[in-house]
Amino acid sequence: VGHGDAVRDVLILQNPSEGGTRIVSGGYDHTVRVWDVKDGSCLAVMDHGAPIEALVSLVNPTRIVSAGGTHLKVWNPVTGALLHSSTPHSKTITSLCLALHCGPNTK
């Protein structure tokens, strides 16, 4: 069984913890789901607590970020564990972008 409402974003993760390729989906049913590409089974369901608007994978593929409502959440897609939660905005977060290089010495 999949999402109970519309899917808003999808990621493809290559070899998370050597478990192979995974698909991560986020939906308006408030969940982030991790799928096995080979057999289509759902490996993890994480409750974001608000409709998911966007997903992004960090450089380490065992970290993903979900955005929904005013919350950002960092997850381990292998274990389904919530690693960090933040409420940095007063209005709905609608997109995410990952900057691979940033800082005072970035050119």
- pLDDT of 16-34, one tens digit each? 666 788 999 999 999 999 9
- Report the alpha-carbon distance of residue 70 to residue 87 in Å, rounded: 6
Is pLDDT at 81 greater than 80 in this prediction?
A: yes
Structure pTM?
A: 0.85
Is domain 7-86 classified as CATH 2.40.10.480?
yes
